Amino acid sequence: MPFNNQDIITTQTITFCEQPNELRLESGEKLGPITLAYETYGELNQNKSNAILIFHTLTSDAHAAGFHEGDKKPGWWDKMIGPGKAFDTDKYFLISVNVIGGCKGSTGPASIDPKTGKPYGLSFPFVTIGDMVSAQKLLIDHMGIKKLVCTAGGSMGGLQALKWSVMYPETTASVIVIAANTRHTAQQIALHEVARQAIMGDPDWHNGDYYGKSIPARGLALSRMVGHITYMSDKSMEEKFGRKLISKERLGYDFNQDFQVESYLKYRSDTFVQRFDANSYLYLSKALDYFDMAEDGSLSKSFSRAKAKFLIVSFTSDWLYPTYQSKQMVKALKVNDLDVSDIVINSDYGHDAFLVEAEGLTKLVRPFLKRAKI
């Protein structure tokens, strides 16, 4: 059935139970059975040659387009996915898949460990970006898709897209990497470590064993506050909030919140706590910090396995994944004589730009996908 952006979408799940029912993880540990949550938009053609795989960010999910029953807001990339949009669902079959280690339907630390009948908590094995990709490959194989037109994502999603190009080069015709990098820097690791210490320092965290009890809400909220600041730019925060006061005519001269930016952070982080699992934040942030495409010490050597066409996009005001980091990626790809389009978009929206700048991205993605046909 053709997809329409007004459609009510249900997230589907699939559990891989057959032998081999366990995934060998990069850490050496095993994980299984594995459930994956995903959504699809558009129709898979008869040749199964029009599939595009979409990946989400650290705290997002498989719900990229259309509406969930009762929701007023559509999926996170609804501006980009649909009939006639950047990812044209009249042409392509879009698959949006949730990562393992998360808490949005795929197997993660809040899932029930079949061996104990209780939530994994910290006994959940450590997963890497590569492990997420290995799990996604099970889904693509299950669907009988031999080759993807494109793997695409922003931020943590961009890392998965990139990883596909070297783990499954024969399966990946093109790759779109937005606001991402090839390895986490000291600053990025440091910001994540603040988030982890905030969670693990919350007395309600109980070494990850809090399911069914009080959740480490304060710690998780703090993590999210830091996150939000890094997702916006100095300029976008100034334009949105400046020094606007909450409701008072004057400053309070106390430790209550005075400024709108403070109450915004509180509101957003309090909402976040209700929808995201603290342990997943630990697992996924650590997976990001471990991420390093130059596994053997040479980035260009790692990319020598890739065969795809690449579209690499960054944003001028993104200070979390700055433009220079995309340039490093582009250089290592070009050294391998790969087909690389390298675009820097002028935007004040910081790292969030990849969700906001749909118009600019659409102009890039449409012709790129046309050229990237299998």
Q: Which residues are catalytic?
A: 155, 318, 351
C-beta closer to a second copy: residue 44 or 189: 189
- Report if residue 265 touches a second copy, rule: CB under 8 A: yes
Q: List, in sequence order, every residue forming a beta bridge with 183; answer none if it has no partner.
A: 292
Name residues whose C-beta falls within 8 Å of residue 141's C-beta, 6 or more positions apart in sequence.
Answer: none
Q: Are 148 and 176 in contact (CB under 8 A)?
A: no
Give the separation between CA 305 and CA 169, rounded to whole angstroms.
7
Which of 253, 274, 296, 297 binds a second copy (CB under 8 A)? It is 253
Which of 10, 84, 251, 305 binds a second copy (CB under 8 A)? It is 251
Tokens of 192: 């994540």
- Report if residue 225 touches a second copy, rule: CB under 8 A: yes
- What three-state secondary structure class fits 74? coil
Q: What is the CA radius of gyration of the chain?
A: 20
Which of 138, 139, 143, 226 binds a second copy (CB under 8 A)? It is 226
Pairing of strands 87-88, 34-41: unpaired
DSSP 5-49: TT-B---EEEEE-SSS--EEPTTS-EE-SEEEEEEEES---TTS-
Give backbone dihedrals phi and psi of 45, rounded to 5 degrees, phi first: -75, 175
CB of 102 to a second copy, least distance (A): 16
Q: Are 199 and 220 in contact (CB under 8 A)?
A: yes
Which of 184, 210, 278, 306 binds a second copy (CB under 8 A)? It is 184
CB of 194 to a second copy, least distance (A): 5
C-beta closer to a second copy: residue 211 or 259: 259
Q: CA dist 237 to 80, 110, 257, 259, 303, Å?
A: 24, 34, 17, 12, 37
- Report if residue 99 touches a second copy, rule: CB under 8 A: no
Work out the widest C-alpha separation in the chain, in whole angstroms. Answer: 68
Q: Are 171 and 164 in contact (CB under 8 A)?
A: yes
- Report if residue 20 touches a second copy, rule: CB under 8 A: no
- Report if residue 238 touches a second copy, rule: CB under 8 A: yes
C-beta closer to a second copy: residue 79 or 286: 286
- Report if residue 27 touches a second copy, rule: CB under 8 A: yes
C-beta closer to a second copy: residue 105 or 322: 322
Site string for a second copy, 104-123 (x = CB under 8 A): ------------------x-
Binding residues for a second copy, rule: CB under 8 A, are: 26-29, 122, 126, 183-187, 189-191, 193-194, 196-198, 200-201, 203, 218-219, 221-222, 225-226, 228-229, 232, 234, 237-238, 240-243, 251, 253-255, 257-259, 261-262, 265-266, 282, 286, 289-290, 292, 319, 322
